[in-house]
Structure formats: structure tokens, C-alpha cells
Structure 1
């Protein structure tokens, strides 16, 4: 845990000086006042500045990013991790060469890493974090693939009148299929089975 001592004419100034050195906001540190300021004799002789100690609190997302880089290094990959906020929560975008190994077949490795990253992040956070892990824009490409699949299967159900059961998918992928077809007046969707073999069924209305 990183700690830093700083001083100033007042406790508030000492804290500000320390925050500047650490480059973080006040909510990222634990503050301990080591010494109150004193004016000294006649306000001049023996005057002392305030002295504080700032302890940098762990950041769940930073811990998750570090964990991810360690895992990638163990796989022989050199990656950088970019953080961004979106409607789904916090997105960590992994960049580097040969990320196919990190993504895995149909994103299975990426999904497993996302699960672990969320565990690490929430272990080091006092609020619940939801992290989406992505690499080489796989999530967007997978979404487009699933939406195209949903459209094709819906058309097939309408033509044949028979329901279609899709392959097992994660809850995140099932949500994409449901969302894509919820406005379709000719078909309905529902899930059946237990994880990890839960599947979507597309049926005629």
C-alpha cells in the first residue's frame, strides 16, 4: 500500500499538497493527521507546519487491469489495457498482438477472464463494479454475428412454423438474441435449461 507524508501551513493545505504528489482525488486516500500546525512563540519562533500521511486506497479497476496483464504475460502475450466508461459499466479494452489466444473459441476464454477480472475488481472495491472485458472489438463483432443469426433463425421459424433451439450461450449473448427479436411480431423467444447449457428457443407466435 503506497503511503506518502506531506506538510503545509494548515492540515487542508498539507492534504492538497499530498494529493497533488499522488495525482489522485481525496476519495482515493485515507488521511491521518500526524501533526497539527502551531504558530510558535510570538507567532514566529518554533512555528510548525501541519503534517499528514496519505495512504493510497486500492482501486478495483486498476487491480483488475494489473491482474489481466499478469495473466496475459503468463500466456506469453504483451498487452496494454485501456479503461473506459459506458452504459454497461466499465469496459477494459485489451490491445496487443495475437490476441486470439486471449479471446478463445467464440470468446470463451475472454468470458472466463471477464469473470475472474470482476472477482478481482470487487475484492478491492467498496462498491459493486461491473466490468466488461473486450479485445480486438470482439464484443461488437460477436453482437453483430448473433443479431444476424437471430434474424435468420426467426425467418426460418416463420417459414417452417417450427421452433428452433439455439446452441448454449452465456447470459450476455442470450440477452442480445432476446433484445433483437423482442420487437418481431411473428416470433417469441424464451430460455430453457440450466447453466452452462441454457439455450434460447425461437418459436412462432
Structure 2
């Protein structure tokens, strides 16, 4: 797994270099899960970046950093054979941590409204990764269920009573 993690770091550093972005990449949390593979955070060091470069790398509503993360996960897991995949989270300037807190708040708020009214709640404008995160946040609820409906880019998450 160390080899895959290092490959991810090198891939992201190369991509940044090709984008003329003067940033190093640090390895963050690396968690091994025997069944699902390895989860690894690749953190872009913003020390040499100005705010416009940070904003460009994150993109509007995180679309650029999400695209970079998607590419990393798609390209770096091709042709692994029997090897377990390595799932990369690309972080910059605390964006992922802040967004995770926002998603928890969105999920809790939707859950409270559904419990109060009994009416299903629709959450729009989430990426596929963010929809999966909200599914995970609410999956332990005994009284609620979640599902995704529609087609991209209009796909949305529905929270409803079981």
C-alpha cells in the first residue's frame, strides 16, 4: 500500500507542476481497511500560494478540487488486479474539513425537519461524493432513510422517514 500512497503523492505533485502551481504535497491520514483498501489524504501545502491560486485550485463550490480528487481516484486505481484500491482525499487550506462540517449541519438540519414534519426533504446541489457523505452521516438513523434521485447534474438526495 505504501507504493500506491507514494504514487498518489507523486501524481498530484506532477499535476501541480504542470499547472504551474508552486506547491508541495504532504501525506495526511492513511487508514487501512482490509475489506475496502486504503484511504489516504493528500494535502496541498498552500505556504507558497497566494489566495487567487488557492481559490482557483478549490474552484467554485469545490468543483476543481473535486475534479482533481476524482482524477486521482480514477487514474491511480486502474489496473490494480488483486490489489486493494487506494482512495485519495485531496485537501487544500482546510476546505475538506470545513465542507464536512457543513455537510453534517445540512444532514442534521434536514433530518430534524423530516422528523418534525414527516415530509421528505430534498437536498440539491451536492456532488456525488457529498451525497455519499450525507448517506453515511444518516445511515445509522433508525427512523430515517436516504436515497438519490434524478440524473446528473440535477441529481439530488432525499431524506425521508423509514
Q: TM-score range by the shorter chain?
A: 0.7 to 0.9
2:76: which partner in 1? 121
1:192: which partner in 2? 149
1:142: which partner in 2? 99
Q: Given the alignment, which residue of 15, 27, 46 partners 1:83? A: 27
Distance 2:77 2:144 in 1: 39
Residues 201 and 62 of structure 1: CA distance in aligned 2, closer, same or farther (over 3 Å): same
Alpha-carbon distance, 1:125 to partner = 6.1
TM-score normalised to structure 2 length: 0.73
TM-score normalised to structure 1 length: 0.60
Distance 1:119 1:76 in 2: 23
Residues 70 and 183 of structure 1: CA distance in aligned 2, closer, same or farther (over 3 Å): closer
Alpha-carbon distance, 1:157 to partner = 2.2
Distance 1:198 1:176 in 2: 15
Q: Which protein has the larger Cα radius of gyration, Structure 1 or Structure 2?
A: 1
Q: Secondary structure at the match of 1:133?
A: strand
Distance 1:124 1:66 in 2: 18
- Consecutive unaligned residues of structure 2, counting only runs of 5 or more, are 33-37
Q: Given the alignment, which residue of 89, 92, 111 partners 1:132? A: 89
1:49-60 aligned at under 5 Å gives the runs 59-60=3-4
Give CA-to-partner distance per residue, 1:157-195, whole Å, 9 cap, x none: 233332121114233212221222233344322111234
Greater relative contact order (CA < 8 Å, ≥ 6 in sequence): 2
Q: State how many pairs are aligned.
A: 148
- Consecutive unaligned residues of structure 1, counting only runs of 5 or more, are 1-27, 29-58
